[in-house]
């Protein structure tokens, strides 16, 4: 592949991004030794792990019609396969120091038990998980071969010194007898062949792992384009829902009140000469309505942009939000991933997305769910994900309706690159979880 190089006199500095394969091959021979150790460990443990998974699959199929016990075993097998796939992806990424996205669970946007079943089904057909499992099985086979080659290397090294023991013959690897005079030559050849085989398997494992587990540059760009497109569509839908909400609030709330104020002032103007007392009462009524309209405008502006969020951060903004809630709110915000205490500012986009998701959830809990209390929990997970959960003890049955508040939450979270999960069975409780990537 040709590379574009600019002459130095142009004064332009260029940077070249290495592919995962180039980053892996640019490592010292220590990487080969670590690969051999990995293969040796997999050669010892791989058979037991694969045998256990096969046994669990067979037991699940065999007990499938025995009171449904097999279903639980098969569901457990899916979780075990996901865990093994996650481990394999993390192992390859750490071994070769390549940026591979960790294997994630395939979640369904549908809530309740049906959503959980759909998540299990999506995880079962996850191609990335099965590629990681295939790479694990290949690595286990290579590991078993490496162990045999290591044994052959040790045996070859030992028979190289057979003439020094004074024996006339030595036992061969296949039960045959080898003359001691030929032992040094065969031993040296055996050491070289075994070492070459071990190194060759290590190099083959690297090539296969990067080809199977690590995404190619084209696949990575395709996934990035897909994610960016989904985020853009979510941002457009969120803006449209927000615009509709503002228009509705203005049309149904502030606008009629201001019209009423204008009519009241008009009546007061007509009566100010002939009935000053009535005009004064009308002016007082208009003044009260004006203050109410100002309050509604402030609430509307707060729904568009929370100034306290920029000034004091998410913790303070949520405290103010909880204090204005019509139902008691238990707030638990811990923004320090290291100690679990204190506060830490994250990106403005993540804070805004989580804040408005919590605000809409508390509004729904107070208006529609007949809840008597709510609980809000916020954490930073993994150092780069802002996680929040809102739970109320209401009647449940909440659903994402096009153009509704929950639809606006999901679109806003999607636009921020996060995930949204609603669980609201009939009878309650209702819980909403959001995960938003953040740069803390």
Looking at the fold, whether 47 and 119 belong to one and the same domain comes out as: yes
Q: Does any domain span residue 342?
A: yes
Task: Report whether pLDDT(373) > 60.
Answer: yes
Looking at the fold, whether 151 and 126 belong to one and the same domain comes out as: yes
Burial class (CB in 10 A: 0-12, 13-18, 19+), 378: buried
Domain count, the chain: 3
- Residues 231-290 pLDDT 10s: 566 666 656 666 666 666 565 566 676 777 777 778 777 777 787 787 778 778 777 777
CA 361 to chain centre: 22
- Residue 11 has a pLDDT of 37
Domain that holds residue 119: 16-215
Query: What does the angle CA 44 – CA 48 – CA 52 come to, to the nearest 5 degrees?
Result: 165
Q: Looking at per-residue confidence, does 150 or 294 come out higher?
A: 150
Gyration radius (Cα) of the chain, Å: 34
Task: Please give the share of the chain, as a percent, with pLDDT higher than 70.
Answer: 69
| CA dihedral angle for residue 416, residue 421, residue 427, residue 429, rounded to 10 degrees | -80
Phi-psi region of 33 (alpha: psi -120 to 50; beta: other; left: phi over 0): alpha
pLDDT band, residue 146 (cuts 50/70/90): very high
* Final residue in a domain of this structure, among 304, 336, 358: 304
- Residues 383-432 pLDDT 10s: 678 888 888 888 887 777 776 677 777 777 877 778 888 888 887 788 88
Query: What does the angle CA 213 – CA 32 – CA 104 come to, to the nearest 5 degrees?
Result: 20
Looking at the fold, whether 311 and 413 belong to one and the same domain comes out as: yes
- Residue 338 has a pLDDT of 45
Closest of 425, 427, 409 to residue 361, by C-alpha? 409
- Residue 138 has a pLDDT of 93
pLDDT band, residue 227 (cuts 50/70/90): low
Q: Is the peptide bond before 164 cis (omega within 30 degrees of 0)?
A: no
Q: For the ranges 20-29, 189-198, 404-413, which has the lowest average pLDDT?
A: 20-29
Identify each DSSP E strand in 180-268 by its residue range.
Answer: none
Sign of CA dihedral 270, 276, 282, 288: positive
* Final residue in a domain of this structure, among 186, 215, 244: 215
pLDDT band, residue 67 (cuts 50/70/90): confident
- Residue 241 has a pLDDT of 61
Q: Does any domain span residue 402?
A: yes
pLDDT band, residue 1 (cuts 50/70/90): very low
Looking at the fold, whether 370 and 312 belong to one and the same domain comes out as: yes
pLDDT band, residue 21 (cuts 50/70/90): very low
The mean pLDDT of 354-373, rounded to a whole number, is 81
Q: Does any domain span residue 226?
A: no
The answer to whether 436 and 356 have CB atoms below 8 angstroms apart is no
- Residue 84 has a pLDDT of 92
Looking at the fold, whether 24 and 145 belong to one and the same domain comes out as: yes
- Residue 336 has a pLDDT of 67
Task: Report whether pLDDT(154) > 90.
Answer: no
pLDDT band, residue 143 (cuts 50/70/90): very high
Q: Does any domain span residue 428?
A: yes
Q: Does any domain span residue 227?
A: no
Token readout for 32 is 């080969």
- Residues 319-344 pLDDT 10s: 887 887 788 888 888 876 543 444 45
Q: Is the pTM of this model over 0.85?
A: no
Q: How many angstroms separate the CA atoms of 338 and 46, rounded? A: 35
Q: Looking at per-residue confidence, does 44 or 223 come out higher?
A: 44
Compute the mean pLDDT over every residue in the chain, rounded to the nearest whole number: 75
Query: What does the angle CA 248 – CA 251 – CA 254 come to, to the nearest 5 degrees?
Result: 110
Task: Please give the share of the chain, as a percent, with pLDDT higher than 90.
Answer: 10
Q: For the ranges 41-55, 179-193, 229-243, 398-412, which has the lowest average pLDDT?
A: 229-243
Looking at the fold, whether 333 and 293 belong to one and the same domain comes out as: no
Looking at the fold, whether 388 and 256 belong to one and the same domain comes out as: no
Q: How many angstroms separate the CA atoms of 36 and 147, rounded? A: 9
* Final residue in a domain of this structure, among 148, 183, 215: 215
pLDDT band, residue 15 (cuts 50/70/90): very low
Looking at the fold, whether 85 and 101 belong to one and the same domain comes out as: yes
Looking at the fold, whether 376 and 250 belong to one and the same domain comes out as: no
- Residue 287 has a pLDDT of 78
Q: Does any domain span residue 1?
A: no
Token readout for 232 is 């853009």
**68-72, 195-199, 296-300, 332-336: which has the highest mean pLDDT?**
195-199
Q: Domain of 287: which CATH number?
A: 1.20.5
Q: Does any domain span residue 8?
A: no
Q: Does any domain span residue 220?
A: no
The mean pLDDT of 361-390, rounded to a whole number, is 82
Task: Report whether pLDDT(169) > 90.
Answer: no
Q: Domain of 413: which CATH number?
A: 3.30.565.10
Looking at the fold, whether 141 and 47 belong to one and the same domain comes out as: yes
């Amino acid at each position: 592949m040709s590379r574009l190089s600019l002459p130095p006199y142009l004064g332009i500095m260029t940077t070249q991004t290495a592919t995962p394969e180039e980053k892996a091959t640019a490592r010292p021979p220590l990487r080969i030794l670590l690969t051999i150790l990995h293969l040796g460990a997999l050669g010892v443990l791989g058979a037991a792990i694969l045998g256990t998974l096969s046994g669990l699959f067979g037991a699940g199929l065999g007990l499938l019609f025995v009171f449904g016990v097999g279903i639980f075993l098969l569901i457990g097998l899916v979780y075990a396969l996901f865990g093994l796939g996650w481990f394999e992806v993390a192992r390859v990424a750490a071994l070769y120091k390549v940026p591979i996205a960790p294997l994630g669970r395939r979640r369904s946007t549908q809530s309740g038990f049906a959503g959980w079943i759909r998540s299990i089904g999506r995880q079962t057909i996850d191609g990335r998980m099965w590629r990681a499992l295939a790479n694990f099985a290949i690595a286990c086979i290579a590991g078993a071969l490496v162990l045999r080659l290591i044994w052959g290397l040790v045996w070859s090294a030992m028979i190289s010194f057979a003439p020094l023991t004074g024996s006339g013959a030595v036992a061969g690897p296949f039960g045959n007898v080898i003359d001691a005079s030929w032992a040094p030559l065969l031993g040296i050849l055996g050491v070289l062949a075994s070492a070459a085989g071990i190194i060759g398997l290590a190099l083959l494992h690297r090539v296969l792992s990067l080809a199977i587990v690590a995404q190619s540059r084209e696949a990575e760009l395709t996934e990035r384009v897909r994610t960016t497109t989904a985020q853009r569509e979510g941002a457009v839908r969120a803006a449209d829902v927000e615009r509709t909400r503002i228009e509705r609030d203005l049309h149904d709330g502030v606008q009629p009140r201001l019209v009423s104020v204008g009519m009241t002032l008009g009546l007061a103007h007509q009566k100010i000469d002939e009935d000053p007392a009535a005009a004064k009462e009308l002016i007082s009524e208009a003044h009260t309505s004006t203050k109410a309209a100002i309050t509604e405008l402030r609430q509307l502006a707060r729904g568009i942009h929370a100034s306290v969020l920029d000034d004091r951060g998410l913790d303070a903004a949520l405290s103010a939000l909880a204090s204005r809630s019509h139902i008691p709110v238990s707030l638990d915000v811990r923004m320090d991933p290291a100690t679990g205490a204190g506060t830490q500012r994250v990106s403005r986009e993540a804070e805004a997305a989580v804040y408005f998701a919590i605000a809409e959830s508390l509004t729904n809990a107070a208006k529609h769910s007949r809840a008597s209390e709510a609980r809000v929990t916020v954490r930073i997970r993994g150092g780069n994900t802002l996680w929040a959960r809102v739970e109320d003890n209401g009647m449940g049955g909440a659903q994402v309706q096009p153009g509704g508040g929950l639809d606006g939450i999901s679109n806003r979270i999607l636009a921020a690159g996060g995930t949204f999960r609603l669980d609201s069975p009939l009878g309650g409780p209702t819980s909403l979880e959001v995960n938003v990537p953040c740069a803390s």
